[in-house]
Amino acid sequence: MTDESTHSAHWPAPLARGPVKATVTVPGSKSVTNRALVLAALASEPGWLRRPLRSRDTLLMAQALRALGVGIEEGIGPDGTGEAWRIVPDELRGPVTVDVGNAGTVMRFLPPLAALADGPIHFDGDPRSHERPLHGVIDALRTLGAGIEDDGRGALPLTVRGTGSLAGGPVTIDASSSSQFVSALLLSGARYNHGVEVRHVGGKLPSMPHIRMTVDMLRAAGAQVDSPEAGGERDVWRVAPGALLGRDLVVEPDLSNAQPFLAAALLTGGAVTVPDWPAHTTQPGDALREIFTAMGGSCELTEQGLTFTGSGRVRGIDIDLGEVGELTPGIAAVAALADSESVLRGVAHLRLHETDRLAALTREINGLGGDVTEIEDGLRIRPRPLHGGVFHTYDDHRLATAGALLGLLVPDVRVENIATTGKTLPDFPDMWHVMLGTRA
Ligand SMILES: O=C(O)C1=C[C@@H](OP(=O)(O)O)[C@@H](O)[C@H](O)C1
Ligand SMILES: C=C(OP(=O)(O)O)C(=O)O
């Protein structure tokens, strides 16, 4: 549970009392949970989702699917262990209004599903959702036969006028601003009459592991998918038309949300174990093993999970984070406390995330005395002695956890709106205090 300081405007980030030694159980992956919900909703039979993430982004997804007619029963699994949701697909029907909040996965993944519904589905969300790019999904759906009303800006709000089925077929998009355009079209593609073929043209595609996650989960649900990794053409994916199976899926811990806890071990020269770290995964957070090792720690994957151990020294890094962009705010915070310069590249598209993350990280770290400059596609971070102050978060969960990380070593950092971590990790403030042993 939370205490009053969680909800007050500024959360006093606790200082580490020494090397952090803890085991931290991290809740389920946002990206896996929201893909699993979409695929289960489109399946031809009921399925189970075990250890789903319960956070703002996933509850918005569940709420939208329920409104469309899908049964989602929340409870304990049949074997009595842990939370499990039973998902019972049904005919998708409008009229419905979907609140996407500021969830990229909801605003991108659901319009292609809504094109299969019977009736109008209206999409709207937080003010920021009107600025996040959606043109790849809107233009593609029109090409594939869907009726869409929007204001021509390639963003929300919009209405999909579903007729119960969609022709589907080939489509070309520029997904350089978000890999979620590709994932969105593939996830619903098996249910289109001709399936879907998505061809990306334009700048480099970001977040490839997330597209691989989509392909893997589609295949596990019985879909036939051609992809570049399986010998297909570069930047082209094909999903054949066909039924999807109901699955019984255990959601992996969210490895991107494990980041602040592992970073605490790195920054304090401590050791943090995250149980249930998967041996094989498409989650981008798995790259933290390598990245944080390069920044000065070491890690070991055992039956107990992943243990990351800091060495007491934190090194800067020069790295392209294009594949793992959502790790950037946490890496930037560590880099600001390192003993040498860092350059984080390949993440220009972060300007269109929950907030303009490059501008926000620059402003906020510099506000504490740091020396961060924006480069064309990322950040240059020169460590400086930092001082306390308010760390603004712009309704961005990963800015909030980045502020908490700085506060481990810098006295009197106050994080604005720590509750925004609820987008993907509602228990963050409590988990942080428990890890640090700072709760009275
Ligand atoms: O498909 C997904 O689950 C995600 C893809 C990525 O989006 P972008 O490609 O827009 O960066 C990532 O940043 C986001 O947090 C989750
Ligand atoms: C970019 C992110 O989220 P979204 O799914 O809203 O795009 C993120 O979680 O870092």
Per domain, the residue ranges of the chain are 4-26+253-436, 30-235
Helix runs in 200-252, H state only:
208-220
> Is 326 known as a binding-site position?
yes
> How far is the centre of ligand 1, averaged over its atoms, from the C-alpha of 239 (Å)?
20
**pLDDT tens readout for residues 365-378:** 999 999 999 999 99
Task: Please say if the pLDDT value at position 3 is more than 70.
Answer: no
d(CA 30, CA 80): 23
Give the DSSP H/E element, type plus range, for residue 148.
strand 147-150
**Residue that wins the pLDDT comparison between 106 and 2:** 106
ipTM, two decimals: 0.99
Quote the tokens at residue 224: 């036939």
Segment 257-265 mean pLDDT: 98
Report the nearest atom of ligand 1 relative to the CA of 183: 1
Closest atom of ligand 2 relative to the 424 alpha carbon: 9
Find the mean pLDDT for residues 18-37. 98
224 labeled part of a ligand binding site: no
Asked whether 135 and 154 are in contact (CB, 8 A), the reply is yes
75 or 347: which leads in pLDDT: 347
If phi > 0 it is left, if psi is from -120 to 50 it is alpha, else beta; for residue 49 that is beta
| Amino acid residing at 167 | A
Query: What H or E segment, with its residue span, contains residue 186?
Result: helix 180-189
Mean pLDDT in residue range 284-303:
97
pLDDT digits (tens, 9 = 90+) for 144-154: 999 999 999 99
Residues 6+ apart with CB under 8 A from 98: 64, 67, 106, 110, 114, 121, 122, 123, 124
Q: Ligand 1: which of 30, 31, 187, 425 to mutate, judged by most atoms within 8 Å of the beta carbon?
A: 31
Find the angle CA(186)-CA(218)-CA(101) to the nearest 5 degrees: 60
Q: Pick the catalytic residue: 252, 323, 326, 354?
A: 326
- What tens digit of pLDDT does each residue of 187-202 get? 999 999 999 999 999 9
Q: Tell me which of 353, 358, 394, 424 to substitute to probe ligand 2's pocket, judged by most ligand atoms within 8 Å of the beta carbon.
A: 353
Topology, domain 4-26+253-436: UDP-n-acetylglucosamine1-carboxyvinyl-transferase; Chain (3.65.10)
- Check residue 9 and give its pLDDT: 82
Active site residue 326: yes
pLDDT at 119 exceeding the cut of 50: yes
What's the whole-number average pLDDT of the chain? 96
- Cα gap 34→40, rounded to integer Å: 10
Exposure b/e, 215-249, CB count within 10 A at least 16 = b = bbbbeebbbebbbbeeeeeebebbbeeeebebbeb
- For residue 350, report the distance from its CA to the centre of ligand 1, in Å: 10
Please give the distance, rounded to the nearest whole angstrom, from the Cα atom of residue 57 to the centre of ligand 1.
12
Domain 30-235: give its CATH code: 3.65.10.10
Same fold, 4-26+253-436 and 30-235: yes
114 has pLDDT over 70: yes
pLDDT tens-digit profile of 49-65? 999 999 999 999 999 99
Contact, 136 vs 187, CB < 8 A?
Answer: no
Q: Separation of 132 CA from ligand 2 center, angstroms?
A: 11
